[in-house]
Amino acid sequence: MYDLMIIGAGPAGITASVYAARKRINTVVITGDVGGQAAWSGDIENYTGYQFITGPDLTNKFEEHMEQYKLPIKLHEMIDDLAREGDRIVARTRNGSYSAKAAIIATGKLSRELGVPGEKEFKNKGVSYCATCDGPVFAGKDVAVIGGGNSALDAALQLIRIGRKVYLINIAGSLTGDPIMREKVEGAPNVTVMNKTKVTAVLGDKFVSGITVCPVNGGREEACLAPTTVNVQGVFVEIGLVPSSGFVRGVRKNDRGEIMVNARNETDVPGIFAAGDVTDVVEKQIIIAAGEGSKACLSAFKYLSRLK
């Protein structure tokens, strides 16, 4: 049995693991991947110490730091269930189970799906949720980015340099991301912004060939007897994220599914801590997630120190 389990290896989980190693806590890191959302980010200009760095490069820096301490990492492990059982925290995966005296949940968030016909059929066949990962495949092609917030703007800024034409499909009346990002996107010659517009279907044969869109007014979809077809070869869905917390039992969550924590990153279950975007912390930023990961580990260390 371990003293501490860290679930997830994004900015919060990696930072927690570094602190755990420095505190000499008997720790295991269980994660599906390394980097989390940071690995999907494009250009990062607001992480202290780096005036400019890409998401993948920052992820590599995180990973190099973590690997210095040679913690046991169970990579590509997906947890189906985690709960407190007696005096220990038990996590069950398809390959077995892990037990620890304490756990830090740092699983971040997952991309929200559109939920329209054709989306699932063309996933990885033109439908993508990661411009950083898949953008280069669409060099010289026409693509659509669905969304109007920072994640959509970030994707658009990456694709502007790669694609021939970028359509930004936004259900709201105007773009809502950071002003500087909006200016860059709206000023690009190969971008068409379509506000008050909703995607109703993804079209294609073996691969994506287009999307159908309908006008939206005041939050209501108008009668769309003749939907407009936008011819694109790629669709990047950037309409927000949902917390990856469904596997956690017994802890208090808010109506968005975020794990509720106090200022010490404690949940309402003794021994279970949480950090980063999976929690109800107000802002979702890489640097905030990293700081929350350090706090969670320090709190877990104090908790373990008080155990008999």
Label residue 131 by pLDDT band (50, 70, 90).
Answer: confident
Considering only CA atoms, give the Rg of the chain: 21
CATH top class, domain 113-237: alpha beta
Confirm whether pTM is higher than 0.85.
Answer: no
Q: Please tell me the predicted confidence (pLDDT) of residue 141.
A: 96
Question: CA dihedral in degrees (303, 304, 305, 308; nearest 10)?
Answer: 110
Kindly name the residue from 3, 134, 154, 277 that is annotated as catalytic.
Answer: 134
Q: How far is it, in rounded angstroms, from Cα 177 to Cα 172? A: 12
29's enclosing H/E stretch is strand 27-31
Q: Please tell me the predicted confidence (pLDDT) of residue 221.
A: 52
CA 274 remoteness from chain centre:
15
CA 188 remoteness from chain centre:
26
Q: Please tell me the predicted confidence (pLDDT) of residue 28.
A: 96
Q: CA distances (Å), 242 to each of 111, 199, 278, 298, in order? A: 6, 20, 8, 27
Label residue 16 by pLDDT band (50, 70, 90).
Answer: very high
Is position 130 annotated as part of the catalytic site?
yes
Q: Please tell me the predicted confidence (pLDDT) of residue 175.
A: 94
236's enclosing H/E stretch is strand 234-237
Q: Please tell me the predicted confidence (pLDDT) of residue 38.
A: 81
Label residue 302 by pLDDT band (50, 70, 90).
Answer: very high
CB-based burial of residue 93 (10 Å sphere; 0-12 exposed, 13-18 middle, 19+ buried)? middle
- Per-residue pLDDT for 219 more than 60? no
The string of DSSP codes covering 153-205 is HHHHHHHHTT-SEEEEE-SSSS--S-HHHHHHHHT-TTEEEE-SEEEEEEEES
Amino acid letter for position 62: F
Q: Please tell me the predicted confidence (pLDDT) of residue 106.
A: 97
Structural domain boundaries in the chain: 2-110+241-306, 113-237
Mean pLDDT, range 45-56, rounded to an integer: 86
Label residue 216 by pLDDT band (50, 70, 90).
Answer: confident
Name residue, tokens 């494009």: 42
CATH top class, domain 2-110+241-306: alpha beta
Contact 255, 267 (CB under 8 A): no
Tell me the per-residue pLDDT of 230-241, one tens digit each, with 9 for 90 and over.
999 999 999 988
**Which tokens hold the place of 132?**
């950083």
Q: CA distances (Å), 305 to each of 25, 99, 302, in order? A: 10, 18, 5
**Which tokens hold the place of 176?**
């809502």
Is position 224 annotated as part of the catalytic site?
no
Kindly name the residue from 33, 81, 87, 133 that is annotated as catalytic.
Answer: 133
Q: Please tell me the predicted confidence (pLDDT) of residue 207.
A: 94
Name residue, tokens 């640097």: 287
Tell me the per-residue pLDDT of 254-285, one tens digit each, with 9 for 90 and over.
999 999 999 999 999 999 999 999 999 988 88
Q: CA distances (Å), 40 to each of 47, 116, 147, in order? A: 15, 24, 16
Q: Please tell me the predicted confidence (pLDDT) of residue 103.
A: 98
Kindly name the residue from 57, 130, 178, 224 that is annotated as catalytic.
Answer: 130
Q: Please tell me the predicted confidence (pLDDT) of residue 164.
A: 96
Per the DSSP assignment, residues forming a β-bridge with 198 are 214
Is position 134 annotated as part of the catalytic site?
yes
